Amino acid sequence: MLIGWGPHRFMIPTYSVEKMTRSSGGRVAHAAVIGADQPTHLLGPDVDTLELDSTFFPHHFNRGGLGMLEEVRLSIRQQVPHMLVMLSGAVLGRWVGTSLQETRTLFDANGMPSKVETQLRLTRYVPGPISTELRTGLF
């Protein structure tokens, strides 16, 4: 297993990850001031995103990648945050899928693609504050 995202295992030979791009940042704002430099306000961390790029060849392996692709798509639709764990043992916390882009090419006579390229986008899940009703009960 190279990467685990909840129930999904991105590994050779079914659905492995060739490229991982992580984007992190901070939020800042500038206030307009007449006759002076604009002060910078530090607003905290920005959204943390991760893109996982993959290419797999269903004919050469056990076609398990296509089934897993549908499972990943279902997880994105259900919007369930899953733990993200790397092969090294690093636990990156809970992440939610935001999009899955897929390109299928080189079709055989039965319509089965010989090559599938995907890009899965995940966003680090940060739960919001619990509302007063949930903390104290509804009644």
Q: pLDDT by residue for the chain (139 residues), tens digit each?
A: 588 898 888 877 677 788 999 999 999 999 888 999 999 999 988 899 999 998 888 776 555 667 888 889 999 999 999 999 988 889 999 999 999 999 999 888 888 888 889 999 999 999 887 745 455 544 4
Question: What distance separates the 2 farthest-apart alpha carbons in the chain?
Answer: 71
**Domain of residue 113, residue span:** 3-22+50-127
Q: Is position 139 within any domain?
A: no
Q: Work out the angle at residue 98's Cα, subtended by the Cα atoms of residues 95 and 100, and round it to the nearest 5 degrees.
A: 115
**Does residue 133 form part of some domain?**
no
CB 129 within 8 A of CB 63: no
Predicted confidence at residue 136, as pLDDT, reads 52
Residue labelled with tokens 């430099």: 37
Q: Tell whether 111 is covered by a domain.
A: yes
The C-alpha atoms of residue 75 and residue 59 are separated, in whole angstroms, by: 25
Domain tally, the chain: 1
Does a structural domain hold residue 17? yes
